[in-house]
A and B are shown apart, each in its own frame.
Chain A
Amino acid sequence: MAEPILQITGLEKTYPGRGAAPPTRALENVDLDIRKGEIFALLGPNGAGKTTLIGAVCGLVRPTGGTIRAFGLDLAKDWRKVRSRIGLVPQEMAVDIFDTVERSINYSRGLFGRPADPARVEQILRSLSLWDKRDAELRMLSGGMKRRVLIAKALAHDPDLLFLDEPTAGVDVELRRDMWKQIDLLRDQGVTIILTTHYIEEAEEMADRVGVIDKGRILLVDDKDAMMKSLGRTEAQFALDVPLHSIPADIARDGLHLADNGMTLCFRGGDGAGGGRESVADIAQTLARLGIRYSAIDIRESSLEDIFVNLVNERPEIAA
């Protein structure tokens, strides 16, 4: 396999304690490889270490241990070359609000050492529907527009690797969909994207691979589909007309049990790749054949959210 575009090995970050507060270990021995051209979602609750991890790569946080390699270069040594190819969209709206949109983008491009290129800047602004607002001061823009400006600033120097820290935190549904579309477009242009989110829906919708981080540790990294397959489950509930005292032998299988004094037949199983649904269909047909009537079937595939909650909860020593 090709060398990863970003390779993080044994990354550590401990914030020194202040006063009576003990030191905080924000990152613990983090290993992470990012493949070229993928969208990688770093999923974790607030305070899990997502922003610290991004900060360590982008130069905002000084790691206390470990190595970071990007584009085959050591970040500590070749920081200039590495950083000129990385873009960062921060979580907070941190901009000079008196600047105009176009000037702000031109500044970002120059800051990263790229020659002025009005045509490219126009292209970026147009792709983010900001061209009509190019002369507007940032303080005049809506929250959603400001967020697009942050993306435009991060794209101004044509980075190969783009970090988006909670790109859709606090934005409305429409804007979120819009943002996802933008991110997809970027991937089509060959940009490798790492986004952090605590919206599982976002990771599920966007990502090729998902990493789960909690309390500074990476708990799991896998292809999203593989993760769904290995950890995903189908859950079905049959609301029975007449209570059952025991499960009929014809439908007996793993993951089947009765609840609500026999009024509900519950199934939990499968692999998140269709196997579970087949079982449910089989159960339904068998019940019909046995003349066991039911008034409703409630069926659902467990989402990444369930997987995530299970992962975090199954490790009490870190979920405490």
Chain B
Amino acid sequence: MILGFNHRSALAIYKREVARAWRTVFGTIISPVLTTCLYFIVFGAAIGGRMQEVGGIGYGAFIVPGLLLLTLLSESTSNGSFGIYMPRFTGAIYELLSAPVSVAETLVGFVGAAVTKSLIIAGIILLTANLFVDYHIVHPFFAFFYIVLVASAFSLFGFILGLWADGFEKLQMVPLLILTPLTFLGGTFYSIDMLAEPWRTVALFNPIVYLVNGLRWTFFGQADISIGVALGLTLVFLAGCVTAIWWIFKTGWRLRD
């Protein structure tokens, strides 16, 4: 116990979750690398050559933050959700529920592991992208911080999903039917300034727009949306997720009869 925080419990969960990811290490690494390569081949080589620069940045480099975010969102969400859904599904959750573990420790363990995995994948994607295009990150520390923030927020979101879902179908539904469309429509591969009205205004209701632009700002020092707004919204989302999880554990919803 350190300051009322049971670090051993949190560490036990963290290590176990990282080990679980390690069991599927091949798919973990190969799949994002392959996806990134495919996107670069299609958007970078095939289409990118005909695209003009966006705000003075070559199109190939322009899509790097968007591509990174695309994988970051889906990987963080699925890592966060599977970690807690599987023990609920198999019944092994009894052990966690009967253990002297607080919400904070549970989250540090589960979400920490999901974030770790997401960060490793983010690193791999950035290296892979470097094979296709030259890009330079203007604010590398800020970029790292922002990636950690987004990975944490969406791992938490995934955790909620894993608590909410009562079947594998539901578990897949939200990433597939909500997250992927929003990401594609959120300016991953374009600047929303390219959109005609009213679509530009409509796009502003898509939260992913802010995430993409926040990350883009850390890369290039410029974006459609101010970094302050993007950062603020990301933090609000993160705080909302933590509150929801705290409520779930307090009321026992979907956890305790």
Q: Mark A122-140, 1 if CB is under 8 A from B, else 0.
A: 0000000000000000000
Tell me whether B257 and A111 are in contact (CB under 8 A).
Answer: no
Neighbour of A153 across the interface among B95, B100, B252, B257, CB < 8 A? B95
B interface, size bucket? 20 to 34
Tell me whether B94 and A107 are in contact (CB under 8 A).
Answer: no
Give every chain B residue within 8 A of A96 (Cβ-Cβ).
20, 86-87, 90, 92
Tell me whether A81 and B19 are in contact (CB under 8 A).
Answer: no
- Taking the closest CB of chain A, its distance from the CB of B147, in whole angstroms, is 29
Q: In the complex where A59-B97, A83-B98, A113-B100 touch, is A95 in contact with B90 (Cβ < 8 A)? A: yes
State in angstroms the CA–CA spacing of A283 and B99 once bound together. 60
- Taking the closest CB of chain A, its distance from the CB of B100, in whole angstroms, is 4
Q: In the complex where A92-B91, A113-B1, A113-B9 touch, is A86 in contact with B256 (Cβ < 8 A)? A: no
Q: Mark B76-120, 1 if CB is under 8 A from A, else 0.
A: 000000000011001111111111111000000000000000000
Residues facing A in B97-152 (CB within 8 A) are 97-102
Residue A303 interfacial (CB < 8 Å) = no
- Taking the closest CB of chain B, its distance from the CB of A90, in whole angstroms, is 5
State in angstroms the CA–CA spacing of A112 and B100 once bound together. 6
Tell me whether A62 and B256 are in contact (CB under 8 A).
Answer: yes
- Taking the closest CB of chain B, its distance from the CB of A72, in whole angstroms, is 17
Who on chain B is nearest to A109 by CB?
B12
Tell me whether B96 and A111 are in contact (CB under 8 A).
Answer: yes
Who on chain B is nearest to A78 by CB?
B100
Q: In the complex where A95-B92, A98-B23, A115-B8 touch, is A110 in contact with B15 (Cβ < 8 A)? A: yes
- Taking the closest CB of chain B, its distance from the CB of A114, in whole angstroms, is 7
Tell me whether A111 and B95 are in contact (CB under 8 A).
Answer: yes
- Taking the closest CB of chain B, its distance from the CB of A91, in whole angstroms, is 10
Residue A79 interfacial (CB < 8 Å) = yes
State in angstroms the CA–CA spacing of A29 and B257 once bound together. 18
Neighbour of B100 across the interface among A62, A81, A92, A106, CB < 8 A? A81
State in angstroms the CA–CA spacing of A33 and B181 once bound together. 58
Residue B13 interfacial (CB < 8 Å) = yes
Tell me whether A61 and B94 are in contact (CB under 8 A).
Answer: no
Give every chain A residue within 8 A of B6 (Cβ-Cβ).
80, 113
Residue A177 interfacial (CB < 8 Å) = no
State in angstroms the CA–CA spacing of A109 and B20 once bound together. 18
- Taking the closest CB of chain B, its distance from the CB of A247, in whole angstroms, is 57
- Taking the closest CB of chain A, its distance from the CB of B247, in whole angstroms, is 14
- Taking the closest CB of chain B, its distance from the CB of A217, in whole angstroms, is 19
Who on chain B is nearest to A100 by CB?
B19
Who on chain B is nearest to A98 by CB?
B23
Tell me whether A60 and B100 are in contact (CB under 8 A).
Answer: no
- Taking the closest CB of chain A, its distance from the CB of B140, in whole angstroms, is 35
Tell me whether B100 and A80 are in contact (CB under 8 A).
Answer: yes
Give every chain B residue within 8 A of A95 (Cβ-Cβ).
90, 92
State in angstroms the CA–CA spacing of A111 and B16 once bound together. 10
State in angstroms the CA–CA spacing of A35 and B11 once bound together. 35
Q: In the complex where A60-B256, A110-B8, A111-B13 touch, is A88 in contact with B91 (Cβ < 8 A)? A: no
Q: In the complex where A60-B257, A96-B87 touch, is A79 in contact with B12 (Cβ < 8 A)? A: no
State in angstroms the CA–CA spacing of A114 and B184 once bound together. 46
Q: A52-B257, A103-B16, A113-B100 are in contact. List 18 more A-B contacts (CB 8 A).
A: A15-B257, A55-B257, A58-B94, A58-B98, A79-B100, A80-B6, A80-B100, A81-B100, A83-B99, A88-B95, A92-B91, A94-B92, A95-B90, A103-B19, A107-B16, A111-B13, A113-B1, A113-B101
- Give 22 pairs: A residue, B residue, CB < 8 Å, sorted on A: A55-B257, A59-B97, A60-B98, A62-B257, A81-B100, A82-B100, A83-B100, A88-B94, A94-B92, A95-B90, A110-B8, A110-B12, A111-B9, A111-B96, A111-B99, A112-B99, A112-B100, A113-B1, A113-B6, A113-B9, A113-B99, A113-B100
Closest 10 pairs (CB-CB, A-B): A110-B12, A94-B91, A83-B100, A84-B100, A80-B100, A58-B98, A94-B92, A111-B99, A111-B12, A113-B6
